[in-house]
Amino acid sequence: MEVHVCDTSSNEGVIAANNLKRIRAAHVILFDAPMSNGVGVMVSKVVEEASNSPSGMIKVLRIWAHGGPGSQGVSRGTDASANADWAGIDLETLAKNNEMTKTRIQLEQVLDWYGRVEMRGCKVGSGIRGQIFLNYLANLWQVPVHAGAVDQGIVVGGSGLELAWTGTVHVARPGVSGTTTFKGAIN
Protein backbone atom coordinates (compact mmCIF):
# COMPACT_ATOMS: atom_id res chain seq x y z
CA MET A 1 0.00 0.00 0.00
CA GLU A 2 1.18 3.51 -0.83
CA VAL A 3 0.01 6.42 1.33
CA HIS A 4 0.30 10.07 0.30
CA VAL A 5 0.11 12.98 2.74
CA CYS A 6 -0.57 16.36 1.06
CA ASP A 7 -0.53 19.76 2.75
CA THR A 8 -3.15 21.39 0.53
CA SER A 9 -2.93 24.63 2.49
CA SER A 10 0.12 25.28 0.30
CA ASN A 11 0.11 25.64 -3.48
CA GLU A 12 2.60 22.78 -3.89
CA GLY A 13 0.38 20.45 -1.87
CA VAL A 14 -2.68 21.40 -3.94
CA ILE A 15 -0.81 20.67 -7.17
CA ALA A 16 0.47 17.35 -5.81
CA ALA A 17 -3.06 16.41 -4.66
CA ASN A 18 -4.48 17.32 -8.08
CA ASN A 19 -1.84 15.22 -9.84
CA LEU A 20 -2.51 12.31 -7.47
CA LYS A 21 -6.23 12.63 -8.25
CA ARG A 22 -5.45 12.73 -11.98
CA ILE A 23 -3.57 9.42 -11.77
CA ARG A 24 -6.25 8.00 -9.43
CA ALA A 25 -3.90 7.42 -6.52
CA ALA A 26 -5.61 5.85 -3.53
CA HIS A 27 -4.92 6.49 0.15
CA VAL A 28 -4.39 10.26 -0.01
CA ILE A 29 -4.51 12.17 3.29
CA LEU A 30 -5.21 15.90 2.87
CA PHE A 31 -4.44 18.75 5.27
CA ASP A 32 -6.48 21.71 4.01
CA ALA A 33 -5.43 24.27 6.63
CA PRO A 34 -2.28 24.86 8.65
CA MET A 35 -2.63 23.26 12.06
CA SER A 36 -0.68 22.69 15.21
CA ASN A 37 0.00 19.01 15.89
CA GLY A 38 -0.26 18.16 12.21
CA VAL A 39 2.41 15.53 12.80
CA GLY A 40 0.31 13.80 15.47
CA VAL A 41 -2.76 13.92 13.22
CA MET A 42 -0.73 12.61 10.27
CA VAL A 43 0.64 9.69 12.28
CA SER A 44 -2.87 8.76 13.48
CA LYS A 45 -4.26 8.91 9.95
CA VAL A 46 -1.35 6.91 8.48
CA VAL A 47 -1.77 4.23 11.16
CA GLU A 48 -5.50 4.14 10.38
CA GLU A 49 -4.79 3.74 6.64
CA ALA A 50 -2.42 0.86 7.44
CA SER A 51 -5.14 -0.88 9.44
CA ASN A 52 -7.24 -0.95 6.24
CA SER A 53 -4.44 -2.66 4.30
CA PRO A 54 -4.62 -6.45 3.91
CA SER A 55 -1.14 -6.75 5.46
CA GLY A 56 -1.63 -3.92 7.97
CA MET A 57 1.56 -2.39 6.57
CA ILE A 58 2.53 0.53 4.35
CA LYS A 59 5.04 -0.01 1.56
CA VAL A 60 5.58 3.67 0.64
CA LEU A 61 4.76 6.80 2.64
CA ARG A 62 5.08 10.06 0.67
CA ILE A 63 4.78 13.50 2.28
CA TRP A 64 4.02 16.35 -0.16
CA ALA A 65 4.51 19.82 1.37
CA HIS A 66 7.01 22.63 1.86
CA GLY A 67 10.47 21.65 2.97
CA GLY A 68 13.96 22.91 3.64
CA PRO A 69 17.32 21.43 4.63
CA GLY A 70 16.57 19.03 7.48
CA SER A 71 12.88 19.98 7.58
CA GLN A 72 9.69 18.54 6.08
CA GLY A 73 6.36 20.30 6.48
CA VAL A 74 3.21 18.32 7.11
CA SER A 75 0.50 20.93 7.81
CA ARG A 76 2.21 24.29 7.91
CA GLY A 77 0.80 25.88 4.77
CA THR A 78 2.92 28.42 2.92
CA ASP A 79 5.30 29.09 5.83
CA ALA A 80 8.38 27.20 4.65
CA SER A 81 10.58 28.54 7.43
CA ALA A 82 9.31 26.74 10.52
CA ASN A 83 7.54 23.70 11.85
CA ALA A 84 6.17 25.40 14.97
CA ASP A 85 3.71 23.48 17.11
CA TRP A 86 4.37 20.17 15.35
CA ALA A 87 3.26 21.43 11.92
CA GLY A 88 6.15 19.47 10.44
CA ILE A 89 9.18 17.33 11.09
CA ASP A 90 12.61 18.92 11.61
CA LEU A 91 16.00 18.00 12.96
CA GLU A 92 15.94 20.36 15.95
CA THR A 93 12.54 19.22 17.22
CA LEU A 94 13.47 15.56 16.85
CA ALA A 95 16.67 16.14 18.80
CA LYS A 96 14.99 18.05 21.63
CA ASN A 97 11.44 16.69 21.92
CA ASN A 98 10.94 13.15 23.23
CA GLU A 99 7.16 13.34 22.68
CA MET A 100 7.64 13.91 18.95
CA THR A 101 10.05 11.00 18.76
CA LYS A 102 7.52 8.77 20.55
CA THR A 103 4.83 9.84 18.10
CA ARG A 104 7.07 9.10 15.11
CA ILE A 105 7.99 5.66 16.46
CA GLN A 106 4.32 4.68 15.91
CA LEU A 107 5.07 4.81 12.17
CA GLU A 108 7.78 2.18 12.52
CA GLN A 109 5.08 -0.30 13.55
CA VAL A 110 3.18 0.12 10.26
CA LEU A 111 6.03 0.59 7.76
CA ASP A 112 6.79 -2.57 5.78
CA TRP A 113 10.34 -3.86 6.27
CA TYR A 114 10.86 -3.54 2.54
CA GLY A 115 9.17 -0.15 2.36
CA ARG A 116 10.39 3.44 2.31
CA VAL A 117 9.46 6.99 3.25
CA GLU A 118 9.74 9.80 0.70
CA MET A 119 10.00 13.39 1.90
CA ARG A 120 8.76 15.27 -1.19
CA GLY A 121 9.38 18.84 0.03
CA CYS A 122 11.99 21.03 -1.65
CA LYS A 123 15.59 20.70 -0.46
CA VAL A 124 14.73 18.42 2.52
CA GLY A 125 17.85 16.30 1.89
CA SER A 126 20.11 19.27 1.12
CA GLY A 127 23.46 19.77 2.84
CA ILE A 128 24.74 18.25 6.06
CA ARG A 129 21.52 19.12 7.94
CA GLY A 130 19.43 17.28 5.37
CA GLN A 131 21.61 14.20 5.40
CA ILE A 132 21.73 14.04 9.22
CA PHE A 133 17.92 14.42 9.24
CA LEU A 134 17.47 11.55 6.78
CA ASN A 135 19.84 9.30 8.74
CA TYR A 136 18.00 10.05 11.98
CA LEU A 137 14.62 9.18 10.44
CA ALA A 138 15.92 6.04 8.70
CA ASN A 139 17.19 4.74 12.03
CA LEU A 140 14.01 5.79 13.84
CA TRP A 141 11.65 4.15 11.33
CA GLN A 142 13.97 1.31 10.24
CA VAL A 143 13.29 1.91 6.52
CA PRO A 144 15.11 3.90 3.84
CA VAL A 145 14.18 7.60 3.72
CA HIS A 146 14.44 9.57 0.44
CA ALA A 147 14.56 13.36 -0.03
CA GLY A 148 15.58 15.73 -2.79
CA ALA A 149 18.48 18.18 -2.49
CA VAL A 150 16.94 20.82 -4.77
CA ASP A 151 13.54 22.40 -5.42
CA GLN A 152 11.11 19.66 -6.36
CA GLY A 153 8.55 21.83 -8.15
CA ILE A 154 8.77 22.05 -11.92
CA VAL A 155 6.23 23.09 -14.53
CA VAL A 156 5.30 20.42 -17.04
CA GLY A 157 3.45 21.63 -20.11
CA GLY A 158 1.86 24.43 -18.10
CA SER A 159 -0.23 21.94 -16.15
CA GLY A 160 1.53 22.13 -12.78
CA LEU A 161 4.10 20.22 -10.81
CA GLU A 162 5.13 16.77 -11.89
CA LEU A 163 5.29 13.89 -9.42
CA ALA A 164 8.77 12.70 -10.48
CA TRP A 165 11.96 13.41 -8.50
CA THR A 166 13.97 16.44 -9.58
CA GLY A 167 17.78 16.63 -9.42
CA THR A 168 19.85 14.83 -6.82
CA VAL A 169 17.95 12.62 -4.35
CA HIS A 170 19.57 11.43 -1.11
CA VAL A 171 18.71 8.06 0.42
CA ALA A 172 19.49 7.16 4.04
CA ARG A 173 19.29 3.53 5.17
CA PRO A 174 18.94 2.19 8.71
CA GLY A 175 22.25 1.36 10.37
CA VAL A 176 24.31 3.16 7.73
CA SER A 177 25.94 6.54 8.25
CA GLY A 178 25.80 8.92 5.33
CA THR A 179 23.54 8.74 2.30
CA THR A 180 23.64 7.43 -1.23
CA THR A 181 22.31 9.49 -4.12
CA PHE A 182 20.59 9.06 -7.42
CA LYS A 183 19.52 11.49 -10.12
CA GLY A 184 15.85 12.24 -10.47
CA ALA A 185 14.18 11.56 -13.80
CA ILE A 186 13.80 15.27 -14.46
CA ASN A 187 16.87 17.49 -14.27
Query: 61-75, 139-153, 160-174 — which is least confidently predicted?
Result: 160-174
Task: Tell me the residue range of the domain where 38 lies.
Answer: 2-183
21 within 8 A of 12, measured Cβ to Cβ:
no
Q: What is the pLDDT of residues 51-105, one digit of tens each?
A: 998 999 999 999 988 888 998 888 776 654 556 555 677 777 776 777 777 777 8
Determine the residue type at 177.
Answer: S
Q: What is the pLDDT of residues 110-140, one digit of tens each?
A: 999 999 999 998 899 999 999 999 999 999 8
The DSSP code sequence of 153-177 is --BSTTS-B-SS-BSEEEEE-TT-S
Highest mean pLDDT among 5-9, 76-80, 94-98, 152-156 belongs to 5-9
Region 30-44: what's the mean pLDDT? Answer: 81
Q: How far is CA 110 from CA 83, 113, 128, in A?
A: 24, 9, 28
Region 129-158: what's the mean pLDDT? Answer: 85
Mean pLDDT over each residue of the chain, to the nearest integer: 83
- Better-scored residue on pLDDT, 26 or 95: 26
Question: What φ, ψ does residue 115 adopt, rounded to 5°?
Answer: -90, -170
Cα separation, 76 vs 67, whole angstroms:
10
Domain total of the chain: 1
pLDDT, residue 10, reads 78
pLDDT at 45 over 90: yes
Long-range pairs, 154-161, Cβ under 8 A, ≥24: 154/186, 160/15, 160/18, 160/19, 161/12, 161/15, 161/16, 161/19
